[in-house]
Amino acid sequence: MENEYNLMSIRALIVDDSSVMRKIVERSLRQAGIDLTKVFEAGNGAEALVVLQENPVDLILCDINMPVMDGLEFVKQLGGVANAKDVPVVMITTEGGESHVVQALSCGARGYIRKPFTPEQVKEHVVPVLGGKS
Amino acid sequence: MKSVSELLATDGGHETWIPLLEMATREVFELMLGCQLTVAATAEEPAWEVTAMVGLAGQLCGVLSVRCHAKSAALMTSKMLGVTLDKVGPEVSDALGEVCNMVAGNFKNKIAGLAEGCMLSPPTVITGSDYSLRSLADFPGLEVRLLFESMPIVISLQIHS
């Protein structure tokens, strides 16, 4: 039951400069069996930090290449946001190089999904960081 | 395996990338749009109505483009969003730009050294057919022609040295 509990009532923040991609990520999370009670969206890292000031979340999915503030800088700055410093972040990006993965994880991301992706891949990477088993 | 610069130095060497470009495209459509692309029987050259482009810089420099009809672009958008065609609005450019971005990213991730050594620009999308696109490419372009729901799409890679 612990597994099911961890996937229920999740408040997620999806950060991507493409609104279409934000919708795809949201749909993939729902298809992965994650019960999203609230979904916040931001078009870049700076907007995401503003959203987090007012809104606590349980999960963040974040692109890397974005204008204004990219995903890596956003993850670095997340530690300074009282609401969000322990919130798991999973990167979703077209950047597939090993150095990008290492850089993202060393900045504090807990998972890394390459675009294009399937809902199964989203489940595989997101469920464990929510404390469940994929 | 030859490096990118070795391949480009070999006459026609980069043409070995055509199957990778096709595979990268097929994977994006299968995984993100849930549909299989088929092979175009003829090399028709209709008036393309939507063109998405992503620039590449680094070990490989150039422009990757996806061209299609407006109806194809709208159908891609509806599949990506999971909505019916009549619900598709101004998101078409965003959707086609993302398709192009994912094809470019998936393609470079299939070539040794390029995942790390090549950066992508944000996508640019042109709508309308009364234009000509002139790239400063100095290699013969790579082109893959496929059918999306029986409608033609063309994926091109123009390479600069």
Question: Given pLDDT bands bounded at 50, 70 and 90, which one contains residue B52?
Answer: very high
Sign of CA dihedral A39, A45, A47, A49: positive
What is the spatial distance between Cα B132 and Cα B119, in angstroms, rounded to a whole number?
25
Q: Return the domain boundaries, chain B.
A: 4-160
- Does the B4-160 domain belong in CATH 3.55.40.10? no
Cβ under 8 Å to B: A residues 8-67: 17-21, 23-24, 27, 65, 67
Per-residue pLDDT at B10 exceeds 90: no
Q: Taking each helix axis from N to C terminus, what angle separates A71-78 and A98-107, rounded to the nearest 10 degrees?
A: 20
Average pLDDT value over all residues in chain A: 90
The residue range of the domain holding A81 is: 2-129
Question: Given pLDDT bands bounded at 50, 70 and 90, which one contains residue B6?
Answer: low
Q: What is the mean pLDDT of residues A84-98?
A: 90
**Per-residue pLDDT tens for A44-78?**
999 999 999 999 999 999 999 999 999 999 999 99
A101 part of a folded domain: yes
Per-residue pLDDT at A1 exceeds 60: no
The values of phi and psi at residue A85, to 5°, are: -65, -25
Q: Tell me how many residue pairs between chain A and chain B have CB atoms under 8 A apart.
A: 63
Question: Given pLDDT bands bounded at 50, 70 and 90, which one contains residue A3?
Answer: very low
What is the spatial distance between Cα B48 and Cα B154, in angstroms, rounded to a whole number?
9
How many domains does chain A divide into? 1
Per-residue pLDDT at B130 exceeds 60: yes
Average pLDDT value over all residues in chain B: 89
Question: Given pLDDT bands bounded at 50, 70 and 90, which one contains residue B128?
Answer: confident
What is the spatial distance between Cα B103 and Cα A115, in angstroms, rounded to a whole number?
9
CA distance A110 to chain B (A): 21
Q: What is the mean pLDDT of residues B114-120?
A: 89
State whether B91 and A17 contact (CB < 8 Å). Answer: no
Task: Report the first-to-last Cα separation within chain A, whole angstroms.
Answer: 14
- CATH number for the domain spanning A95: value is 3.40.50.2300
A27 part of a folded domain: yes
**Peptide bond preceding B140 in cis form (omega within 30 of 0):** no
This complex has an ipTM of 0.88
What is the spatial distance between Cα A109 and Cα B47, in angstroms, rounded to a whole number?
45
CA distance B60 to chain A (A): 15
What is the spatial distance between Cα B150 and Cα A14, in angstroms, rounded to a whole number?
34
A134 part of a folded domain: no
Provide residues of B within 8 Å CB-CB of chain A. Answer: 27-28, 31-32, 77, 80-82, 91, 94-95, 97-98, 101-102, 104-106, 108-109, 115-116, 120, 122
Per-residue pLDDT at A32 exceeds 70: yes
